[in-house]
Structure 1
Amino acid sequence: MFECFRDGSGEVLKRPDYLDDFGRFYAGDIHLLAKIERGQTFTEQGSPSWDAFAAGDWAGALRLIEAERDSVAAYFRDTARRGLAFRRLRIVEFPVSPYLQWEMNSFRLRSELGEEIRVLDAREIADVERDGPLPEVVVLGNSVMYAVIYDEELKGAGARRFIDPGQIATTVTEFECLYRKGEEFPEFFEREIAPLGPPAVR
């Protein structure tokens, strides 16, 4: 699965070019935004909530997530108006990392407001990852897809871009196969995340 991402192919875009390219395709006539997220910790650029979390202010991080409710709701009203499905598959290792605990609280808001999120235990994809972990993939309809690139500090640094229709169609099929195996987000959150105390941040 996801073989086209494993040989380093694709046009490499630095972060500003990736964001511009993504925005251009996103504004077009697309029906699906699909994401696979595999890494268990990242550095989120431009997120006040993540900054609070990283500084050890868990209560502040949660308040700042909730403060985004109106803007997130407006975003998903727009996707609904466009007929755009936003599906995210989050791969999770146990025990849950502090970053993932923070991210899941952010996803809780997004799930409430319209994002279709499922969660898949990393142990369920061991056979798929024999040759390495799944890539961090973003697909925009049948137009373009990206393998996101991160730097040494785990900050988003850009992406490799793919525009071959056959590769995109295959990736969407493979995504949907894994997505169907995932657990619905609300059930996962209530069982695995809600009972946790504030995460220990180093």
Structure 2
Amino acid sequence: MLDLLPPVLVPEHGERLTRDAYKRDFGERDAAIRDADSWKLERLQHFEEEGSPSRDALRRGEWATALRLLEDRRDALLATAREDTRKGHRFHRVRVVEKPLSPYLQWELHSHRQRAEYGERIRVVGAEQVASVERAGRLPEIVVLGGDTLFQVLYSKAGATLGSVRYTDDDLVGSWENYIRRLYEAGEDVRSYFEREVAHLPPPRTL
């Protein structure tokens, strides 16, 4: 169990960004990263992602098609990995997992396992490991980008992206980077987790 309390986020100390502004700002800052690490904390168990043909296939209940479309993106993942290597950018992801797996999460773990094959550093933390720090509410969705910007990503109840709150205070950014790093160190590599907990599962039932 991880008893370390997360740093406090005060929305008034950040800048609220719409969905489009968030995506634009994230893209610009991501492209400018050189020789730095980024950290992401994923807590929700369902997202309504846009722009992913594989995710769209899952939504339609077409599991085989969803997995085939993940395979079709390998060239894009390789290109991203090579670009990150050129820039000296190392991306780390912590995925909190509840059981039984939601259909979305079962699909996402297939995606994450594939991303790990191309060098993305992804570890899984069980929801029971963070239960003691979630008595007042779930951990937020956080991205610490390049060591100098923190985005608290905001979602609707259905899991659709609403935008974010952007923070640039050095102490806060550093505190959250260290917090996610601690979770990462306590987690399990997504590839071993996938082989034990996900690979054997039947196709998920979707509505």
TM-score bracket for this pair, using the shorter chain length: over 0.9
The CA deviation at 1:83 is 1.2
Whole-angstrom CA distance in 1 between matches of 2:59 and 2:134: 30
In structure 1, runs of 5+ residues without a counterpart are: none
The CA deviation at 1:59 is 0.2
Opposite residue 47 of structure 1, the aligned amino acid is S
1:143 matched to which residue of 2? 148
1:40 matched to which residue of 2? 45
Which residues of 2 match residues 45-56 of structure 1 at below 5 A?
45-56=50-61
Opposite residue 13 of structure 1, the aligned amino acid is L
2:6 matched to which residue of 1? 2
Question: Contact conserved, 1:73 with 1:113, CA < 8 A, in 2?
Answer: yes
Opposite residue 178 of structure 1, the aligned amino acid is L
Question: Contact conserved, 1:38 with 1:135, CA < 8 A, in 2?
Answer: yes
In structure 2, runs of 5+ residues without a counterpart are: none
TM-score, normalisation: structure 2:
0.94
The CA deviation at 1:32 is 1.2
Whole-angstrom CA distance in 2 between matches of 1:199 and 1:60: 13
RMSD value over aligned CA atoms? 1.1
2:18 matched to which residue of 1? 14
Whole-angstrom CA distance in 2 between matches of 1:71 and 1:29: 19
Opposite residue 40 of structure 2, the aligned amino acid is K
1:25 matched to which residue of 2? 29
Matched residue SS, 2:125? strand
Opposite residue 68 of structure 2, the aligned amino acid is R
User: Is 1:92 paired with 2:100?
Assistant: no
Whole-angstrom CA distance in 2 between matches of 1:40 and 1:148: 14
Whole-angstrom CA distance in 2 between matches of 1:68 and 1:99: 18
Whole-angstrom CA distance in 2 between matches of 1:57 and 1:93: 23
Deviations 1:48-107 (A, max 9, x none): 001001101000000000000000110011111111111000000011111000101111
TM-score, normalisation: structure 1:
0.96
Count of aligned positions = 201
Matched residue SS, 2:32? coil
